Amino acid sequence: MRKSEIDLMGFENGRITGFKPRFHSIGHDWERYTEALVELVDRGVVAHKKGHSLYDLYCQDLNAWLTEFYFEEKRFDQIEAHYTHTGEVAFGPILEEERAVLDRLQALGEGARVRRIWRAHMGLIKREFWWYIGERNAGFRMAEYYQASEQKQRRDYEKLINRIPKMKQELLAIMADYRKTAEMTGASKTELARIHADIAAIDAEERPRPKGKPDPRKMDENLFWDLIDEGLTSQPIVERIDTLPERLAAFKATAIRDFEKIRRSLEARAYRWDVWALAYLLQGGCSDDAFENFRGWLVLQGREVFEGAIADPDSFDVTLHSGTASGINGLRDAAPVAYEMRQGKAMKPVKMPLMDVSGPEIAEDDFASALPRVAALVGR
């Protein structure tokens, strides 16, 4: 944040006075606010009690405070983007604070947004439930990388599997709540049918096997992108990932494995220094793991965005990125889950060559100068 902006700010009743949101995103304004807070602490304007974090002292209700500005300006797109989870969430119902936001959106006639946010949450917790089911179905396997005895690994496995009944009951209760919300907000018959099918599958602890003959088409890059791009303009990432295994399971086993090969080859294409610079600038930093997440997220943005970023990272539309890049786990799991649905057994790992960062090496200090347009737009 600019020094001139902070010079105009004060502090009263636990809140910075004079702070003005920019309305790029709630997350971006959160970052600006906390930057200003740290600066005001350094200037002695804000007291910092020893042994207490600034978050505990001044930021616990910051999210709700910032959201209020967005409601006042009717910035519903940004509110939806902020409360639509794309990464991991705690297994369980939507948090009370988030429910209050959903209730307010619903009261304002924004039922479609409420359903999309709900579906994103449901997609993430359903994925966790199905992972547990997959582990149970696969049976116990010794993990060589896990330095523990077979006896301990078996105990840990049993603890994991024993969680399933409680998870199932909790998930069914959440799904019932979701169904009620969908009905109240005018969901279509197709959407309600999907919810009923999900509830039935969860209750049976078994995903439905694909019916009829498999799609005979060979999986190539064009077909891969058709599957990724489906629902691109109308569904959040999590919802598209949630349905991807079912759509992919309609194909032959060889095509499903080829989907995984193409996914990994595309992520390898993006394993470049200039793309890493893009991820770093958008996120304010980027570790090895974060760059892997970013490359998967970039694939999920669809063919046009992916190929544009590869051709010229500095031309990237920064409004597509909200500060985090999630979705890699769901994308990575799509082929193995689809294969098991099609074949009734686990897919063997797809072997690919080891990757190395390609292109002219760029030092971290030079990322901004390498992508000057993006750096200027995100204020780096």
Task: Report residue 341's pLDDT band, with 50, 70 and 90 as the boundaries.
Answer: confident
The alpha carbon of 331 is separated from its chain's Cα centroid by a whole number of angstroms, namely 10
Mean pLDDT of 133-154: 86
Q: What is the pLDDT of residues 155-179, one digit of tens each?
A: 999 999 999 999 999 999 999 999 9
Number of CB atoms found within 10 A of residue 16's CB: 19
For residue 363, the model assigns a pLDDT of 92
Picking from 117-121, 192-196, 228-232, 353-357, which range would have the lowest pLDDT averaged per residue?
A: 353-357
Higher-confidence residue of 255 and 243: namely 255
* Confidence check: pLDDT of 138 > 90: no
Residue 323 pLDDT level (bands cut at 50, 70, 90): low
Contact between 221 and 307 under an 8 Å Cβ cutoff? The reply is no
Instruction: Tell me what the mean pLDDT of segment 277-295 comes to.
Output: 89
Give tens-digit pLDDT for 105-123.
999 999 988 998 898 888 8
Tokens representing residue 213 in the block: 């003959």
Query: How many whole angstroms separate alpha carbon 372 and alpha carbon 375?
Result: 5
Q: Is the pLDDT of residue 379 over 80?
A: no
41 has a pLDDT exceeding 70: yes
Instruction: Please tell me the distance from the alpha carbon of residue 198 to that of residue 140, in angstroms, as a whole number.
Output: 27
Q: Which two tokens stand for residue 41?
A: 């602490």
Over 90: is that where the pLDDT of 248 sits? yes
Q: What is the pLDDT of residue 36?
A: 92
Those residues with Cβ within 8 angstroms of residue 159's Cβ, 6 or more apart along the chain or in another chain: none
Per-residue tokens: 325? 């890049």
Average pLDDT, the chain: 89
Beta bridge partners of 171: none
Tokens of 55: 């978050």
pLDDT at 70: 96
Give the mean pLDDT of 268-293: 91
Render pLDDT for 51-70 as a digit per residue (tens, 0 to 9).
Answer: 889 889 899 999 999 999 99
In the predicted model, what is the mean pLDDT of residues 371-380? 88
- Per-residue burial over 96-134, b if 16 or more Cβ lie within 10 Å, else e, is eebeebbeebbeeebbebbbbbbbbbbbbbbbbbbebbe
Which of 115, 113, 120, 123 minimizes the C-alpha distance to 80? 113
pLDDT at site 51: 84
Measured CA to CA, the distance from residue 373 to residue 318 in angstroms comes to 10
State percent of the chain over pLDDT 70.
98
pLDDT band at 18, cuts 50/70/90? very high
State residue 177's pLDDT score: 95
